[in-house]
Amino acid sequence: MQTKVGIIGAGPAGLMLSHLLHLAGIETVILEKRSREDIEGTIRAGVLEQGTVDLLNASGVGERMMREGLTHHGIELQFNGVRHRVNMHELTEGKSIMVYPQHEVIKDLVAARLKAGGEILFNVDNVSLHDVDKQSPKIRFQYDDSDHELSCDFIMGCDGFHGPSRKEIPDSIRKEKQQIYPFGWLGILAETPIANPELIYSNHDRGFALISTRTPEIQRHYIQVNPNDDINNWSDDRIWTDLKARVETSDGWTLPDGPILQKNIVSMRSFVCEPMQYGRLFLAGDAAHIVPPTGAKGLNLAMTDVQVLQRGIERFYQTGSKDLLDRYSEIALRRVWKAQRFSNFMTTMLHRNFNHSPFERSIQLSELDYVTSSRAALTSLSENYIGLPLEWEAERTVFS
């Protein structure tokens, strides 16, 4: 088999990159270890930055998102039983976010690729990369009980944290920076009406809580727990009791409850791989960086990664120049580290650290008081949450 760009992973990064390259007339093949049903059925929340919404619309895959997604103009920060609305729409001159789950984005991208005749091989196994530092790298894999080899000009590692791509960057070059947080999230999918028009981020003595949404009938909520806790310790009654306590307000507002359809516990960490490229191998999305979900940056960083890659690859085939591809890590990592900074800020400000002294706890609450009472601080939070621009220096963004 042969193609111009071999893409490992059919997550948001791999699918969007394949779609963008298709629009530029550049052929790709995507290799995915899971089934289509699995990747489309793995339920994940999604807060899309303004830039991600614009990209999906400009590339022709935003129709269902605009019809079914929920546009939010702000969020609410809660502490000491009082809510403070952050009017991001006003503070960012008309920008907003879209609540549209990640797996729905995947469905839209898979449908677009298959409709256009794009090649996605699901259920591949034993993927390995070869000659990534040469002009003709190869991907070997098993598919339909047979061995295959895909020759290409470039390999795009969009295969997540546990995929094989990142390890192909030599240990002498690859630097992995990580922070493990002492917090976990217990997430539920519940059959209830929408609790609040906008997301609620609550700092409470019991721990953090997030009131989110998915559809008018199904909601996604989270509470802070010990990352090593057992989900079996959390009955539905215990979850609702704890969740309601963390978001109750002095004005008597109550959280509607209902049947819990799904529940799980996830740990939280920050991770960055530097550089994000080696030879003809380029990393994007979770293969290169992971952020705690408090800042809502994971999928959005993947989307900015692939915009840089699409422009660099397109320039290579148009002019033969690799100058933009050679600067991929430099360009992408500037935004990655700013997203890490913001995600760390939100995580440490909103979660209850039970190792803190009373002094440190009071400082945390004072930080929330300052952020919600200073227009400058609210503007900074809003700019970061809505999404900082992709810094191209002299380059222009895709579809500009």
Q: Is 51 helix (H, G, I), strand (E, B) or coil?
A: helix
- % of the chain exceeding 70 in pLDDT: 98
Known active-site residue 370 = no
Q: Yes or no: say if 89 and 74 are a contact pair by the CB < 8 Å rule.
A: yes
Helix (H/G/I), strand (E/B), else coil: 305: helix
The SS3 assignment for 313 reads: helix
Q: How confident is the model over 235-259, as a mean pLDDT?
A: 94
- b/e string for 140-154 if b means 16 or more Cβ within 10 A? ebebeeeeeebebbb
Active site residue 175: no
- 326's CB contacts (< 8 A; 6+ apart) are none
pLDDT digits (tens, 9 = 90+) for 145-173: 999 999 999 999 999 999 999 999 999 99
Residues shown for the chain:
400
DSSP bridge partners of 84: 77
Asked whether 306 and 20 are in contact (CB, 8 A), the reply is yes
Q: How confident is the model at residue 302 (pLDDT cuts 50, 70, 90)?
A: very high
The residue among 177, 199, 207 whose CA lies nearest residue 385 is 199
pLDDT at 313 over 60: yes
Query: Could you tell me where the beta strands, DSSP code E, fall in 192-259?
Result: 200-203, 209-211, 218-225
What are 69-103's pLDDT values in tens digits? 999 999 999 999 999 999 999 999 999 999 999 99
Strand arrangement of the beta sheet that strand 175-191 belongs to: 82-87, 74-79, 200-203, 209-211, 218-225, 175-191, 260-274, 289-290
For 391-400, write each residue's pLDDT tens digit: 775 444 444 3
Choose, from 100, 201, 222, 328, the residue flagged as catalytic: 201
Phi, psi of 75 (to 5 degrees): -135, 170
**Alpha carbon distance 222, 199 (integer Å):** 11
Instruction: Give the pLDDT of residue 250.
Output: 84
Break the chain into its structural domains and give their ranges.
5-72+98-177+269-352
Give the pair of three-digit tokens for residue 171: 């240990």
Section 326-354 average pLDDT:
96
Which of 12, 101, 292, 293 is flagged as catalytic? Answer: 293
Q: Which residues of 230-259 are buried (b: 16+ CB within 10 A; e: fewer)?
A: eeeebeeeebbebbeebbbeeeeeebebee
Average pLDDT over residues 185-205: 95
- Checking if the pLDDT of 203 tops 60, the result is yes
Among 4, 72, 107, 244, the one annotated catalytic: 72
Cα(171)–Cα(133) distance, rounded to whole angstroms?
A: 14
Q: Tell me the three-class secondary structure of 180-206, residue by residue.
A: EEEEEEEEEEEECCCCCCCCEEEECCC
Distance, in Å, from the CA atom of 298 to the CA atom of 321, rounded to the nearest integer, reads 30
Return d(Cα 140, Cα 124) in angstroms, integer.
Answer: 10
pLDDT at 393: 55
Residue corresponding to tokens 């895709």:
398
DSSP 132: T
What is the residue whose two structure tokens read 């991600």? 52
| pTM for the structure as a whole | 0.93
- Average pLDDT over the chain reads 94
Task: Report which DSSP code applies to 228.
Answer: T
Domain 5-72+98-177+269-352 CATH superfamily: FAD/NAD(P)-binding domain (3.50.50.60)
Which of 137, 297, 328, 351 is the catalytic position? 297
Alpha carbon distance 301, 56 (integer Å): 14
Sign of torsion, CA 240 187 350 348?
Answer: positive
Above pLDDT 90, what percent of the chain? 92
Residue 201 annotated among the catalytic residues of the structure: yes
Write down the pLDDT at residue 395: 46
289: phi then psi, degrees, rounded to nearest 5: -160, 145
**How do residues 22-78 score in pLDDT, each as one tens digit?**
999 999 999 999 999 999 988 777 899 999 999 999 999 999 999 999 999 999 999
- Give residue 211's pLDDT: 96
363 falls in which pLDDT band (50, 70, 90)?
Answer: very high
